[in-house]
Amino acid sequence: MKRVFSGVQPTGNIHLGNYLGALRQFVELQEDHECIYCIVDEHAITVPQDPKELKQHILDVAALYLAVGVDPKKSIVFVQSQVSGHAELGWILNCASNTGELYRMTQFKSKSQGKESVGTGLLTYPVLMAADILLYDTDIVPVGNDQKQHIELTRDLAIRVNHFYGKDTFVVPEGRFMKEGARIMALDDPTSKMSKSATNVHSRISLLDDDNKIKKSIMKATTDSDGVVKFDVENKPGISNLLTIYSVLSGTPISDLEKQYEGQGYGNFKKDLVEVTVEALTPIRDRFNEIRQSPELIEVLKDGAERADAIAQVTMKRVRKAFGLGL
CATH classification at residue 59: 3.40.50.620
To the nearest whole number, what is the mean pLDDT of the chain? 93
Q: Show Cβ contacts of residue 178 under 8 Å, excluding neighbours closer than 6 positions.
A: 20, 21, 24, 25, 144, 145
Together in a domain, 176 and 237: no
Contacts of 130 (CB under 8 A, 6+ apart): 93, 150, 153, 154, 157, 158
| Domain shared by 306 and 171, yes or no | yes
Number of domains the chain is built from? 2
We report the CATH number of the domain holding residue 216 as: 1.10.240.10
pLDDT reported for residue 183 = 78
Q: Looking at the structure, do residues 251 and 119 belong to the same domain, yes or no?
A: no
Q: Are residues 62 and 136 in the same domain?
A: yes
Residue span of the structural domain in which 269 resides:
201-289
pLDDT tens digits, 49-62: 999 999 999 999 99
Whats the size of the chain, residue-wise?
A: 327
3-17, 65-79, 162-176, 199-213: least confidently modelled range: 3-17
In a domain, 219, yes or no: yes
Rg of the chain over Cα atoms, rounded to whole angstroms, equals 21
Q: What is the pLDDT of residue 23?
A: 86
| Same domain flag for 254 and 311 | no
Integer Cα distance of 8 and 39 in angstroms: 5
Calpha distance 264→120 (Å, rounded): 52
Average pLDDT over residues 270-291: 96
Give a yes or no: residue 196 inside a domain. Answer: no
Overall average pLDDT of the 129-144 stretch: 94
Q: Which residues participate in catalysis according to the annotation?
A: 111, 193, 196
The per-residue DSSP string of 31-67 comes to TTSEEEEEE-HHHHTTS---HHHHHHHHHHHHHHHHH
In a domain, 261, yes or no: yes
pLDDT tier at 85, thresholds 50, 70, 90? very high
Residue 181 scores a pLDDT above 70: no
pLDDT, residue 116, reads 82
Q: What DSSP designation does 73 have?
A: T
Residue 204's contacts (CB-CB under 8 Å, 6 or more residues apart) are: 15, 16, 17, 186, 187, 194, 195, 196, 198, 217
Contacts of 124 (CB under 8 A, 6+ apart): 90, 94, 102
Structural domain includes residue 193? no
Q: Which of 236, 298, 303, 292 is nearest to 269 (CA)?
A: 236
Model confidence at 321: pLDDT above 60: yes
Shared domain check, 150 and 49: yes
Same domain, 285 and 304: no
Residue 310 and residue 251 in one domain = no
**pLDDT above 60 for 180:** no
